[in-house]
Amino acid sequence: MAVRINKGRSLDNINLTPMIDMVFNLLIFFLVASQFADEERELKVVLPSASEAKPLIAKPRELFVNIDQDGHIVVDRKQVELEELEAIFRRAAVDNPVNQTVYIRADKRVAFDHVVAVFNVCNKVGIRDYRVTTVNTSANPSNALP
């Protein structure tokens, strides 16, 4: 003897017409929008040339600031004072006003005042993306300093 299971009538009452209408409306919208996007790129425009222009895909130059255990600041293998560091940061901020990144590599034995001084120079010239680098000793314990 076969057992009959009453599934109910909820599925009988679902009207799919509004959902199908919305899907067609979305399809038409995206087809029309993509046509407008193509037309914007197909205009015959003669672009000016610039000898010093950089491509938009160029990644901004990252600055690395090293601070040794005595508090000496080194940028590009050259020891600099805070005034010189400010001038370097100003040039970098002018070249990349929005996305200039500064990586600060400080010796763990240095007084934190030297690191804060570099933070202050970054803030003074308008560089907001500065980071202090560390070594992940859990991944490679041989990199840890004694």
* pLDDT tens digits, one per residue of 101-129: 999 999 888 888 999 999 999 999 989 88
Q: Has this prediction a pTM greater than 0.85?
A: no
Per-residue confidence band for 146, with pLDDT thresholds at 50, 70 and 90: very low
Sequence-separated contacts (24+) of 128-137 with Cβ below 8 Å: 129/99, 129/100, 129/101, 129/102, 130/101, 130/102, 130/103, 130/104, 131/101, 131/102, 131/103, 131/104, 132/104, 132/105, 132/106, 133/103, 133/104, 133/105
| CB 108, CB 145: distance < 8 Å | yes
